[in-house]
Amino acid sequence: MMANGAAVRLNISVRQNQALARLEFTNPTSSDVFIEKYNACVDGEIENNVFQIQWDGHVVDYTGILAKRRRPLPEDYVKIPPGGTLTALVDLVRAYHFPAGSRIYDATYSAVISYPDREGIWTLTSNTERLRFGW
């Protein structure tokens, strides 16, 4: 889905005890787009509750980092140039508590993003991905 010129696509693959989420951020505009690094999971870590995961109306609990952050500085953003793409890969199991048992889940990426150069926020939301996961 497009927001503020950016789009994000979510793809999840299950391997053994991992639920690997691949985020592909794209910028089809003619201007740079900026996203906070922690919201884009650029270091391969989930550092904010940016995934909504549920099954049959039940929400999978976020167990990852809950940090109170200062207003982001310019170095806290990653820039996606016009026509550019940024990809991040994270394991959802490392930050979300999947209950025992095999289930079908629906997962969506959604983050509230601030601007590096002015006041205001915007929301970036992905497609919903369905996955079967559990043991």
Residue 52 and residue 68: Cα distance in Å, rounded? 20
Q: What is the pLDDT of residues 105-121, one digit of tens each?
A: 999 999 999 989 889 99
Residue 109 and residue 127: Cα distance in Å, rounded? 8
Confidence of residue 3 (pLDDT cuts 50, 70, 90): low
Domains of the chain, by residue range, sit at 2-129
- In the chain the first and final C-alpha atoms are separated, in Å, by 32
Q: What global pTM score does this model have?
A: 0.92
Residue 96 pLDDT exceeds 90: yes
As a residue count, the chain comes to 135
Residue 96 and residue 41: Cα distance in Å, rounded? 14
Instruction: Give the strand pairing for 51-55 and 33-36.
Output: unpaired
CATH-assigned architecture of domain 2-129: Sandwich (2.60)
CA atoms within a 13 Å half-sphere pointing along the CA-CB vector of 131: 24
